[in-house]
Structure 1
Amino acid sequence: MVIAFHKPYGVLCQFTPDQPGQKTLADFGFPPGVYPVGRLDMDSEGLLLLSDEAGFNNRLLDPKTAHPRTYLAQVEGIPTPDAVARLARGGIAIQDYRTRPCKARLLDPGPDVPPRDPPVRFRQSIPTSWLELQLIEGKNRQVRRMTAAVGFPTLRLIRVRIGQLDGGHLPAGAWEKLGPAEIAGIWRK
């Protein structure tokens, strides 16, 4: 079984809380035996897969399979063409790791996404803009670290696609079991 879930902001990607009162995957009524495939940090939202299939996680997330994951990042400021090119080129140092090349583009106009609860902080003197990034790897807080490294910190991060599976139709907090055609879409690049 494979489940697509739109993880809301502020939800921990595990079934047991680290602290009392923390929202976790246990709050959403998933069938027993499923586990998250990959992670989204608490500050991120969007498409998360859960599965009860052994090996699904490794098959999907191993960078050797070059499996794409697409993110929308609302950033502080308006990235320059050079900053977008640096993101795409890869080689950005994140701790002891250098990022692989990815697809990156500035979205103008920005995407039509529902507002976040709680809202993103805004500064009247600093505009925000949106980037679309497609990565084949997923280090801890990688997109946030990448955009910060090129001078444009991420304010909001939404994963919208895994392979060709688009999670945009699911409202925050909703999930659905995937059928064979949808599962096949996960594997298409």
Structure 2
Amino acid sequence: MSHHHFLLHKPYGFLSQFIYELKRKKRLLGELYDFPEGTMAIGRLDEDSEGLLLLTTDGKVSERIRSKKVEKEYYVQVDGVITLEAIEQIKRGVEIGFNGTKYITKPCEAFILKEIPEFGPRGKKIRDERHGPTSWASITVNEGKFRQVRKMTAAVGFPTLRLVRVRIGDLHLGLLKAGDVIKVSKLL
């Protein structure tokens, strides 16, 4: 059987799924492209998050990419000017809540971004500049607990305002614009 693989720049406001059973109207991945039957998102980005999302019709590929062996890098815009001390705490691991219990995140890579990334405007304005400064950081994790990166920045006093996944393993968001889909011959 021949499988299909895709790179997608998931825009803000879309769910990382094709079916939504609840009554509230949600924007789904099928609105962005005519994906073949059996296509699944590899991992998730929540509705408020953006960036690189891989899709496949091959469950084995999905399982391998979701494993702890594959790094996921995120650029996060945070409330305030993030400090080196906060970045060091994130790198060592911070306590977050997960499934009703406390969890210490695994050590990871993190650094302050010196320049504002060029992602273009988000579908919904983040906030007005009068509310104080913001800054950007890169956080690379090998695990993916529910809303983990958002919880990590909040745990060190810098809540996430915008989150964009820029890399999964060796695959990069690159020049993809929000909503762009590229069919590829293989994933990682």
TM-score by length of 1: 0.90
- Using the alignment, how far apart are the partners of 1:125 and 1:158 within structure 2? 22
Identity %, equivalent residues: 43
Deviation of 1:91 after TM superposition, in Å, equals 3.9
Within the candidate set 57, 79, 85, 1:76 is matched to: 79
| Structure 2 equivalent of residue 94 of structure 1 | 97
Alignment check: 8 A CA contact 2:119 2:177 kept: no
- Using the alignment, how far apart are the partners of 1:47 and 1:125 within structure 2? 29
- Using the alignment, how far apart are the partners of 1:69 and 1:62 within structure 2? 10
| Correspondence 1:27 to 2:14 | no
Within the candidate set 152, 158, 169, 2:175 is matched to: 169
| Structure 2 equivalent of residue 8 of structure 1 | 11
Taking only aligned residues, the RMSD between alpha carbons, in angstroms, comes to 1.4
The structure-2 alpha-carbon separation of the partners of 1:171 and 1:82, relative to structure 1 and needing over 3 Å to count, comes to: same
- Using the alignment, how far apart are the partners of 1:134 and 1:7 within structure 2? 18
What is the number of residues matched between the two proteins? Answer: 180
Structure 2: 5+ residue stretches without partners: none
TM-score by length of 2: 0.90
Moved over 6 A (4+): none
Deviation of 1:150 after TM superposition, in Å, equals 0.3
Within the candidate set 43, 46, 49, 1:38 is matched to: 43
Structure 1: 5+ residue stretches without partners: none
| Correspondence 1:58 to 2:63 | yes
Give SS of 2:130's match: coil
- Using the alignment, how far apart are the partners of 1:110 and 1:94 within structure 2? 29
- Using the alignment, how far apart are the partners of 1:178 and 1:118 within structure 2? 30
